Amino acid sequence: PGAVRRHHRDHGISWLGLLAEAPPSLDAVGYAVHPAGFAGHMARTADITRYYLQCPRGTAPDDWSEDRIWAELELRMRGPLRRGALIQRTVVDLESDVLEPLRHGSLFLAGDAASLLSPSAAKGANLAVLEAELLARALTDDLLHGDSEGLDAYSARCLARIRRAQDFSQWMIRLLHDLPENSSQHHIRRPCLETLRTSRAEQDWFAEQYVGV
Q: Tens digit of pLDDT for each residue in 10-28?
A: 999 999 999 999 999 999 8
Quote the CA–CA distance of 7 and 24 in Å, as a whole number: 37
pLDDT band at 212 (very low <50, low <70, confident <90, very high): confident
Comparing 50-54, 84-88, 101-105, 174-178, the range with the smallest average pLDDT is: 174-178
Q: What pLDDT score does 77 carry? A: 96
pLDDT band at 178 (very low <50, low <70, confident <90, very high): confident
Q: Tens digit of pLDDT for each residue in 125-145?
A: 999 999 999 999 999 999 999
Q: The whole model's pTM is what?
A: 0.86
Cα 135 to Cα 147, 157, 160: the distances in Å are 13, 10, 15
pLDDT at 156 over 70: yes
Quote the CA–CA distance of 24 and 45 in Å, as a whole number: 8
pLDDT band at 189 (very low <50, low <70, confident <90, very high): confident
pLDDT at 186 over 60: yes
Cα 211 to Cα 32, 130, 158, 172, 205: the distances in Å are 19, 13, 17, 13, 10
Instruction: Tell me how far apart the terminal alpha carbons of the chain are, to the nearest angstrom.
Output: 28
Question: Which fold would CATH assign to domain 101-211?
Answer: FAD/NAD(P)-binding domain (3.50.50)
Specify whether the CB–CB gap between 160 and 152 falls below 8 A: no
Quote the CA–CA distance of 43 and 129 in Å, as a whole number: 21
- Fold match, 14-94 / 101-211: no
Average the pLDDT over 55-62 and give the result: 95
Domain 14-94 has what CATH class? alpha beta
Q: What pLDDT score does 122 carry? A: 86
Helix (H) / strand (E) containing 145: helix 124-145
List the domain boundaries for the chain: 14-94, 101-211
Quote the CA–CA distance of 168 and 127 in Å, as a whole number: 13
Torsion angles phi and psi, residue 50, rounded to 5:
-95, 135
Quote the CA–CA distance of 211 and 170 in Å, as a whole number: 16
* Ranges assigned E (strand) in the chain: 5-21, 30-32, 39-43, 49-55, 85-100, 103-104, 107-108, 115-116
Secondary structure class of 122 (helix, strand, coil): coil
